[in-house]
Structure 1
Amino acid sequence: MSNSVENGQFIKYVILLSMNPGKSFNEELIREHVAHLRELQAMGKLVMCGPFADYPGGMIVIEAADLEEARALAERDPFVKSGTENYELRAWEISSEENNHLGMG
């Protein structure tokens, strides 16, 4: 495993959002969620985000120092704080030419 993988350079955190039963969105909550995304962007944490086109829910990919920071950022999302959506958090190892496909290329 390359040193840059170990130090987190090729780790991103994936927040998978899914609607809780009986819950729904309203315009105010969506605007609060977008403000949260903009805050993540301003902090240099947001990599990409958006809803799924073929499946309920959405995904936010972030940069974080570790799993604890990623969890804290996920739990600040108004969708999660309001109980409207639940989330799963994954640490995603990025395989690329730059890291010789996690040292296995």
Structure 2
Amino acid sequence: MYLTREEDIRYVILLSVIPGKEMSEDLIRAHVGHLKELDRQGKLVLCGPFTDYRGGMVIIKAASYEEAKAVAEKDPYVQAGVESYELRTWELSCEGNNHMGMG
């Protein structure tokens, strides 16, 4: 039986633009600053906007779901009320964990 290892968990923050809300250049820069700080801390894995949907995705490393939620809620887009978010726990399947014990 495979046991999930903490190092095999990432958190996916799915951001969705709230209809009717406007973004300013200052707000976009604040969001980018938030992402840069996550990167500086070694928490940012990947991020970027969707091309077919009004929103984006941020994948982070965090010690717990609660920490990941706090990161999502610190995002200037979320704090300003221009985007909502969904938080997902993502378990990696990779060579390092023998593809979750099935490889």
Instruction: Provide TM-score, normalisation by structure 1.
Output: 0.93
Q: Could you give the per-residue CA deviations for residues 22-61 of structure 1, whole angstroms, max 9, x where no partner exists?
A: 1021100000000000110111110010001122210000
Give unmatched runs, 5+ long, in structure 2. Answer: none
Identity of aligned residues (%): 60
Aligned length: 102
- Runs of at least 4 residues off by over 3 Å: none
The 3-state SS of whatever aligns with 2:54 is: coil
Q: What residue is the counterpart of 1:37 in the other structure?
A: 35
Q: Structure 2 CA distance, aligned partners of 1:34 and 1:76?
A: 12
Shift of 1:21: 2.0
Instruction: Give the corresponding residue for 1:93.
Output: 91
Report the Cα distance in structure 1 between the residues aligned to 2:89 and 2:80, rounded to whole angstroms: 24
Letter in 1 for 2:11: Y
Structure 1 segments unaligned to the other structure (5+ residues): none
Alignment TM-score, normalising by the size of structure 2: 0.95
Aligned to 2:78: 80
